[in-house]
Amino acid sequence: EIPSHERIITIEDAREVHPPHPNRLHLLASRGEQGRARVTTQELLEEERRQLENIVTQRTAELTNANRRLREENKKREETEVELEEHRKNLQGLITERTAELSHRVKQIETLNSELESFSYSVSHDLRTPLRGIDGFSLALLEDYEDHLDLQGKDYLHRIRNASQRMGDLID
């Protein structure tokens, strides 16, 4: 019996392999005339090994390139994440700074409003006493010296009283 690696195969034998391998048929056709060439199993295996090595080399190169691109994309993503984190920290610092500043300004405004209320109360109290005096003295003049005043003098006193009462209402 002939060892399997020395067995001779014809094109017809190769076509019977299910499914027939196109490389095997090509090798057989290139070895002889009109498809009757004879090739050993060893030669067929050697040709298939070379072709598989080429496929593996090609796929390895493709995968190496794909891995390189993925590493580059990951590096860019990581750099972007670091940059984004820096921006987040910066923004958080700005927010904290602005919040503190706004809080300080709110306290200042509250203090100013409180001072303004005190001032308004003081001014209104301080103005109310002279207005009462003006209104009271003009009333006394009208009542006590009505007979000695002409119409224009009475009109002036009425205007003084009306104006002081209006100012009192405005203060209130």
Of the two residues 2 and 60, the one the predictor is more confident about is 60
Task: Identify the pLDDT of residue 2.
Answer: 46
**Using one digit for the tens of pLDDT, what is the confidence trace for 7-64?**
445 545 555 554 445 555 455 455 444 444 455 677 778 888 899 999 999 999 999 9
Q: What is the DSSP string of the chain?
A: ---GGG-EE-HHHHHTSSSPPHHHHHHHHHHSSTT---EEHHHHHHHHHHHHHHHHHHHHHHHHHHHHHHHHHHHHHHHHHHHHHHHHHHHHHHHHHHHHHHHHHHHHHHHHHHHHHHHHHHHHHHHHHHHHHHHHHHHHHHHHSGGG--HHHHHHHHHHHHHHHHHHHHH-
